[in-house]
Amino acid sequence: MKALILAGGSGTRFWPLSRRRRPKQLLGLDAGTSLLRSTVDRLAPLIQPEDVWICTTELLADAIRAELPEVPDRQVLAEPEGRNTAPAIGWSLVAMDAGDDLVAVLPADHLFADPESFRGQLELAAGYARRDDRVMTIGVTPRWAETGYGYLELGASLGDDGAREVTHFREKPDADTARAYVDGGNHLWNGGIFVFQASTLLGHLVRFEPEIGAGLERIKNSPSDLAAAYGELPSISIDYAVMERLRGIGTVPLDGGWSDLGSWEALAEIMPKNEEGNAVEGDVIAVDSRDNLLYADQGTVAVVGVEGLVVVRTEDTVLVIPRERSQDVRAIVARLKADRRDDRL
C-alpha cells in the first residue's frame, strides 16, 4: 500500500500562527511535533516513507522536503496551483504511476490519539478495497452536529469486523440535517481518509469529471503543459466530484481520538487544562481568568478577568477572539488579503 498525503493547506484557520509559508501542517500542534511529521510517523509501521507521496504547493515543497528528509524528494509533488482535492488526487495518482496499487489518501494535518487502532482500521479498509475493488473511507463517530464535514450513511455490514457499506455520502449538510444525522445514530463523519486501488479511483474520477480526465490525459502525454493544463482543471473537492456520486463506498469505523484540528477551539479542546480551565502554551500570566486558550508563541501573554477567549501572540501579531467564534479568524485573513497585507499572511 502507498500513502498519498494531501499537504497543500493554506493555513488560514490557525492564523496568526499559521501563515502561507508556515501552514497548519507544519506547525508543532501535536505536542510540539508538526502535524505532517506525525502523519508520516503514524503510518510508518504500516507504510514506510519510501512508499509515501506528498501533494503540496510550490510555495511549501522545499519546507516539506526539509521536514521529511526520509521521503524521497521526487515524491513530494508540487501543484502548479491549488485546484482543490479532486485534481490534486487525480494528478498525484498519475504522477505516482500507481496502476492497480492500493493507495491511502490522507490529510496532512489531522490528529489521532490512538495511532495503533488507526493503523488497524486502515489495514481493514485496505482489505475491503482490494477484495471488493471498493473505495473505502474511515468513519468517525460524530460528537456534535458539525456542518463542515461529510456524513456517511451506514448500510449493510461488509463483514464481522464493523466495516459497513455506505448507502449515502452527504458532504457539508445544513445544520438541521446534521443534527438529524447525529441524533439518528446511523451516520459517521467522513474522516477525510480514503483507501482504494488507484486505477479504480481514477476511473471514477474520469467518469464523473470528464474535464479533469481530459486534463490529466494532456498532462500525461505532454508533461511540459503541466502548468497551463493544471490551471484549467475544475476546482472541486473529491467529496463533491466522486464521493457524493459514487455507489458502493464502504467505511471502517474509528472510535475516538480523531480530530481534524479545524480551529483554535479544536486545539483548545485537546490541550491539557490547568485548574482554571485555561489551556496554556508559552509564557502566560493569567489572573482571575477561566476557560481560555492562551498561546504565546513569542513573548508574553498576560490576561486579567477574561473568559472563553483565544489569545494568540506571535512575533508580529496578536489575535483575540472568543473560543466559540474561532472559525471567524477567516474574516481577519480575508481582510488582510483584501488589503494586500502580505506581511501578515
Indicate whether 322 belongs to the interface with a copy of itself (CB under 8 A).
yes
- CA gap 298, 295 in Å, rounded: 9
Stretch that binds a copy of itself, among 102-110, 172-180, 199-207, 323-331 (CB under 8 A): 323-331
List the beta bridge partners of residue 295.
Answer: 281, 312
The smaller minimum CB distance to a copy of itself, of residues 217 and 328, is found at 328
Residue nearer to a copy of itself on the CB measure, 167 or 317: 317
Q: Grid coordinates in use for 46?
A: 504500516
Contact status: 317 vs a copy of itself (CB under 8 A): yes
| Whole-angstrom distance, CA of residue 310 vs CA of residue 91 | 38
Range list of H helices, 172-281: 175-184, 198-208, 210-221, 226-231, 238, 264-270
Q: Does 316 bind a copy of itself (CB under 8 A)?
A: yes
Q: How far apart are CA 3 and CA 47, in angstroms?
A: 7
168 CB-near residues (< 8 Å, 6+ apart): 152, 153
331 binding a copy of itself? (CB under 8 A): yes
Contact status: 345 vs a copy of itself (CB under 8 A): no
344 binds a copy of itself per the rule CB under 8 A: yes
Locate 263 and state its grid cell.
480551529
* Per-residue binding letters, 287-306, with a copy of itself (x by CB under 8 A): xx----------xxxxxxxx
Instruction: List the one residue out of 240, 258, 274, 230 whose CA is nearest residue 112.
Output: 258
At its nearest, how many Å lie between a copy of itself and the CB of residue 329? 7
Q: Which grid cell is 84?
A: 482543490
- Minimum separation from the CB atom of position 341 to a copy of itself (A): 8
Please say which residue, 225 or 297, places its beta carbon nearer to a copy of itself.
Answer: 297
d(CA 168, CA 155): 9
Nearest to 271 by CA among 280, 263, 262: 280
21 in contact with a copy of itself (CB under 8 A): no
* Total binding residues toward a copy of itself, as defined by CB under 8 A: 31
Which residues sit at the interface with a copy of itself, rule CB under 8 A? 16, 285, 287-288, 299-306, 309, 311, 313, 315-322, 325, 328-329, 331-332, 335-336, 344
